């Protein structure tokens, strides 16, 4: 087996793409090279116009024209190949193009091989060697040709150097052997060099294609994971929505302590599941780029005090010391997103620290302020530092116990920090605790006016408000209508577009609010519901309540501009939203 066959990669899984990559690299270089060769051939003929006969000049220029026109015609035809014929699944075109280029290489080789017989008859030794050097330089230039298709390159070289060798053998160099062997030796070296370049080119092509193939597989796997999570999340949220609202309805009735305790346990289980689904929603929302950070000059102490108040009871419950530095320092960040980042980090530290302390420290250096979340927990071994921010990775939960979460907290932290351009660093060693640092741009001056929390609006009564519910899940319709009837609302329901038309026709007036699911049966969407509603009514408040968390759908719902709630929605959250849109 020769070197050309050895490095042809005919049994490689990506053989089709490899062959096409070779072809594209070759075609990018072959056109300009042939134009340059034609120009040099014409110049060479002009240099010898006074030294050769008119017949020899006609033969040379006629041959150059013939070869150039052949090259132009075949190259032009190759550029007119229809898209299906030149697809990566059809190698017949590549093989035919290969044979055409062997033909072009041969006629160019014959043309340049005619140089010693046309121009060098009666020439001096210096002239012969000078022209030979010019030919060597011309033959050494096409690196892509010799790298992609060495057989084409060798087909061109052979007649050229054979003719020069034949011409040099007729010269008497007075017993010197070097001028005699220079042509065949040059041929041998160029052939070996072309095979070596070919091996390097092929290995480079294969590595590049394998890298892109691995990237494509990783992207497809990630997309499949996202679609699966969105579908699973949607299907889980439907029954959880009904269960959550049923519990809220039961909670309004009097019951004994035993039943009350049982009810609280049920609510705790549902809340735990809801928390896990909310983390999946956060990931989908961030991946869909549906969140735009509101970077502003803000007081860091306000965020840290809120985190301290939220986690102080949990720290006391575990007998941990929670210390939070709250100096009045202003920096550039999104207060809501940064609060979520720090809450996730502090919650994680408390979860994995059995004794000692959890602290938030502030370190001001030059134009930056560092927020360090430090704990005295178990620490993280060096080999795991690169993985703990990956989706679903849990160092302390190999059994996937649901009580310990699903491993998305730090993945969300990483996404939120990236969204705000906040560098995130980890320092940890096994048995020595962990410190995660956030770097924020320090602000030289406080904002113009301090934002103070507004007093809560007085709750608006929902009694008498007419609401139209659209959802294809009967359990959700029953639970949601039941809780709204308990608020003395006038409730109408529809499970799809056909029933929506019938309901609108039977209603005495347009509803005040419509609450619709996003994904209905038969491929119908919330946009179809809203389009139908706009035909029948004006000035109707709209709320979308959905279990659909696919990134593209999260982005689409965000762009609609209506309030969007993701199932399961608690009765309190639903009531707050309804009061807000009224």
The mean of the pLDDT values for the chain is 76
Summarize pLDDT for 547-558 with one digit per residue, the tens: 766 656 666 776
Distances (CA, A) of 170 to 26, 125, 174, 182, 198: 37, 11, 12, 14, 35
Q: Specify the residue for token string 């519901």.
A: 529
Q: Give the span between the Cα atoms of 212 and 205, in whole angstroms.
A: 11
pLDDT surpasses 60 at 161: yes
Q: Three-state secondary structure along 278-319?
A: HHHHHHHHHHCCCCCCCCEEEEHHHHHHHHHHHHHHHHHHCC
Beta-carbon contacts of 310 under 8 Å, excluding residues fewer than 6 positions away, are 343
Token pair belonging to 35: 């134009």
Which pLDDT score is estimated for 274? 60
Distances (CA, A) of 123 to 89, 109, 116, 119, 284: 54, 21, 9, 8, 79
Nearest to 150 by CA among 1, 22, 13, 18: 22
**How does residue 3 score in pLDDT terms, banded at 50, 70 and 90?**
very low
**226 contacts 460 by C-beta, under 8 angstroms:** no
Nearest to 239 by CA among 471, 401, 555: 471
Q: Three-state secondary structure along 150-212?
A: HHHHHHHHHHHHHHHHHHHHCCCCCCCCHHHHHHHHHHHHHHHHHHHHHHHHHHHHHHHHHHH
DSSP single-letter state for residue 496: S
Summarize pLDDT for 468-484 with one digit per residue, the tens: 988 888 877 888 888 88
| 320 phi, psi to nearest 5 deg | -105, 150
How many CB atoms within 10 Å of residue 402? 11
Beta pairing class for 434-441 and 368-375: antiparallel
Chain Cα centroid distance, residue 90: 29
Strand partners, 435: 374, 427
Token pair belonging to 206: 């294969």
Beta-carbon contacts of 452 under 8 Å, excluding residues fewer than 6 positions away, are none
Which pLDDT score is estimated for 28? 74
Summarize pLDDT for 555-568 with one digit per residue, the tens: 677 677 777 777 76
Beta pairing class for 513-516 and 490-494: unpaired
pLDDT surpasses 80 at 137: no
pLDDT surpasses 80 at 451: no
Which pLDDT score is estimated for 349? 87
Q: Give the span between the Cα atoms of 458 and 380, in whole angstroms.
A: 49
Domains of the chain: 3-171 (no CATH), 296-441 (3.30.565.10)
Q: Give the span between the Cα atoms of 502 and 22, in whole angstroms.
A: 64
Q: Give the span between the Cα atoms of 351 and 275, in whole angstroms.
A: 15
**How does residue 227 score in pLDDT terms, banded at 50, 70 and 90?**
low
pLDDT surpasses 70 at 272: no
């Amino acid at each position: 087996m020769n070197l050309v066959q050895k490095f042809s990669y005919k049994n490689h899984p990506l053989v089709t793409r490899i062959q096409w990559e070779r072809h594209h690299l070759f075609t990018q270089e072959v056109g300009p090279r042939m134009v340059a060769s034609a120009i040099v051939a014409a110049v060479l003929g002009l240099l010898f116009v006074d030294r050769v006969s008119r017949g020899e000049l006609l033969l040379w220029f006629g041959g150059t024209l013939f070869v150039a026109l052949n090259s132009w015609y075949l190259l032009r035809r190759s550029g007119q190949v229809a898209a299906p014929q030149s697809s990566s699944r059809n190698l017949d075109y590549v093989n035919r193009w290969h044979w055409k280029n062997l033909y072009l290489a041969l006629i160019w080789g014959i043309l340049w091989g005619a140089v010693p017989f046309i121009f060098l008859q009666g020439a001096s030794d210096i002239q012969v060697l000078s022209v030979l050097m010019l030919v060597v330089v011309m033959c050494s230039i096409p690196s892509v040709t010799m790298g992609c298709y060495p057989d084409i390159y060798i087909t061109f070289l052979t007649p050229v150097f054979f003719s020069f060798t034949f011409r040099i053998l007729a010269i008497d160099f007075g017993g010197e052997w070097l001028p005699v062997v220079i042509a065949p030796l040059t041929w041998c070296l160029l052939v070996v060099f072309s095979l070596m370049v070919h091996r390097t080119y092929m290995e480079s092509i294969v590595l590049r294609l394998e890298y892109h193939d691995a990237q494509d597989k990783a992207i497809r796997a990630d997309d499949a994971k996202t679609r699966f999570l969105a579908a699973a999340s949607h299907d889980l949220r439907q029954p959880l929505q009904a269960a959550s609202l049923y519990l809220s309805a039961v909670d309004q009735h009097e019951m004994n302590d035993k039943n009350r305790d049982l009810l609280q346990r049920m609510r705790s289980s549902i809340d735990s599941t809801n928390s896990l689904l909310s983390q999946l929603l956060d990931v989908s929302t961030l991946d869909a780029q549906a969140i735009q950070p509101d970077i502003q000059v803000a007081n860091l102490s306000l965020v840290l005090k809120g985190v301290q108040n939220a986690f102080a009871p949990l720290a006391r419950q575990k007998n941990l010391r929670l210390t939070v530095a709250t100096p009045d320092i202003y920096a550039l960040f999104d207060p809501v997103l940064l609060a979520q980042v720090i809450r996730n980090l502090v919650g994680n530290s408390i979860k994995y620290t059995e004794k000692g302390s959890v602290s938030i420290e502030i370190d001001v250096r030059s134009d930056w302020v560092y927020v360090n979340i430090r704990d005295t927990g178990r620490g993280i071994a060096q080999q795991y530092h690169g993985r703990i921010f990956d989706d679903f990775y849990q160092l302390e939960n190999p059994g996937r116990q649901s009580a310990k979460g699903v491993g998305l907290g730090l993945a969300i932290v990483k996404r939120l920090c990236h969204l705000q351009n906040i560098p995130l660093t980890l320092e940890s060693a096994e048995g020595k605790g962990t410190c995660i640092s956030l770097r924020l741009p320090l602000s030289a001056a406080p904002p113009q006016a301090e934002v103070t929390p507004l007093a809560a609006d007085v709750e608006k009564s929902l009694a008498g408000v007419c609401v139209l519910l659209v959802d294809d899940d009967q359990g959700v319709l029953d639970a949601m209508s039941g809780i709204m009837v308990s608020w003395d609302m006038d409730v109408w329901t529809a499970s799809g577009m056909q029933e929506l038309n019938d309901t609108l026709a039977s209603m005495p007036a347009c509803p005040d609010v419509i609450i619709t699911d996003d994904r209905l049966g038969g491929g119908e969407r919330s946009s179809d519901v809203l389009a139908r509603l706009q035909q029948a009514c004006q000035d109707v408040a709209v709320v979308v309540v959905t279990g659909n968390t696919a990134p593209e759908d999260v982005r689409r719902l965000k762009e609609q501009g209506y309030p969007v709630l993701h199932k399961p929605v608690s009765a309190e959250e639903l009531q707050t939203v309804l009061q807000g849109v009224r």
